[in-house]
A = this chain, B = another copy of it.
């Protein structure tokens, strides 16, 4: 057998082994689970009408609210608040300057009264002005120690177990899995491989500009207080095209911020899977949709219903919420 023939044979063998057990043990039998399995089966059935060649098996996942929790506040925002507190000793002027003063007093209402400008100030003060390597080290240290205000878990322990199973299931069937998030790309990359099995080069997100510099002859990239790209809503298909250059055949989201990604995915020909996670479990997680500022899910819910996309009820479809 040639090198290629052996590789193909071995990959088939691994695929068969992966199929043997229930690939989605934290999913209750029902429409959502069977829509995922039917899609993967169609895509991988050679000679079948839904077959898709492995290089085209691209699946994109929103992060906040789709792969991990986003309540009561986006994790990256809680990170920014912690950073304001950590940096305060070096910034005595923050004691009299909003939105920093309010954050330091724990008065979130006043802090956010400044709207988007206040938010941008908090982000830039905590995310820019250091090298990319320094920022990675800061995120790494925070994410391995900081705990969620309600559950007291590490944030990375608030990844959704059923979605981790979907990621593994897709990869075992020849998919490349990507994150496509409104969150900052360099906030996710330090831990995405460890938590989701998604390597940095498959993480797409919002970004600020960086500049290449030689510091004492040593090349560094310095993070600038200037938005580069917002990977949300209509930005998601743009980010996907810019980074992947192929149209996904499967897309997973939980809010209107993901709608254009799902529309873009659905518009291709052949097998497609468009799936929204619906937060309807106020005892094990949170329940929110049309009225929520975070994870606002209104037009997306309507369009999913009209077009027959998969809507996952966290309450009914998932036996477990978080990874152990």
Cβ of A200 within 8 Å of any chain B Cβ, yes or no, is: yes
Please give the distance in Å from A137's CB to the nearest CB on chain B. 14
In the bound complex, what is the Cα–Cα distance between A264 and B218 (angstroms)? 8
State the CA gap A185–B193 with chains docked (Å). Answer: 26
**A241 at interface (Cβ–Cβ under 8 A)?**
yes
A238-262 CB contacts (< 8 Å) to partner B:
238, 241-246, 260
CA distance A118 to B70 in the complex (A): 49
Known: A185-B245, A186-B245. A260 touches B219 (CB 8 A): yes
Q: Tell me the complex Cα distance, A260–B220, Å.
A: 10
- The segment from A76-84, A121-129, A203-211 found at the interface with B is A203-211
- A189 interface residue, CB < 8 Å from B? yes
Task: Name A236's closest neighbour in chain B (CB-CB).
Answer: B212
Give the residues in chain B near A201, CB-CB below 8 Å.
58, 176, 201-202, 243-246
Chain B residue nearest to A136 (CB atoms) is B245
A window 90-124: CB within 8 A of B: none
Partner pick for A17 among B3, B17, B242, CB 8 A cutoff? B3
Min C-beta distance of A163 to chain B, whole Å: 20
Assuming the contacts A245-B185, A260-B219, asked whether A212 and B237 have C-beta atoms less than 8 A apart, the reply is yes
Q: Which residue of chain B has the shortest Cβ distance to A221 in the bound complex?
A: B241
Interface centre among A3, A132, A219, A244, by most chain B C-beta atoms within 10 angstroms, is: A219
Q: How far is the CB of A122 from chain B (nearest CB, A)?
A: 23
Contact A238 B260 (CB under 8 A): no
| B132 lies within 8 A of A241 (CB) | yes
- Which of the candidate stretches A6-14, A25-33, A148-156, A284-292 sits at the interface with the other chain? A6-14
Task: Give which listed residue, B58, B199, B246, B260, contacts A55 with CB less than 8 A.
Answer: B199
Chain B residue with minimal CB distance to A3? Answer: B17
On whether the beta carbons of A219 and B267 are closer than 8 Å, the reply is yes
Given known A-B contacts A55-B193, A234-B212, A245-B189, A7 and B14 have beta carbons under 8 A apart:
yes
B242 touches A210 (CB 8 A): yes
A186 contacts across to B, CB distance below 8 A: 245
Write the chain B residue with the least CB distance to A264: B219
**A-side interface residues toward B, CB under 8 Å?**
3, 6-7, 10, 14, 17-18, 55, 58, 132, 176, 185-186, 189, 193, 199-203, 207, 210-212, 214, 218-219, 221, 228, 234-235, 237-238, 241-246, 260, 263-264, 267
10 contacts between A and B (CB under 8 A): A55-B193, A185-B242, A201-B246, A207-B242, A210-B242, A211-B238, A219-B263, A219-B267, A221-B238, A243-B243
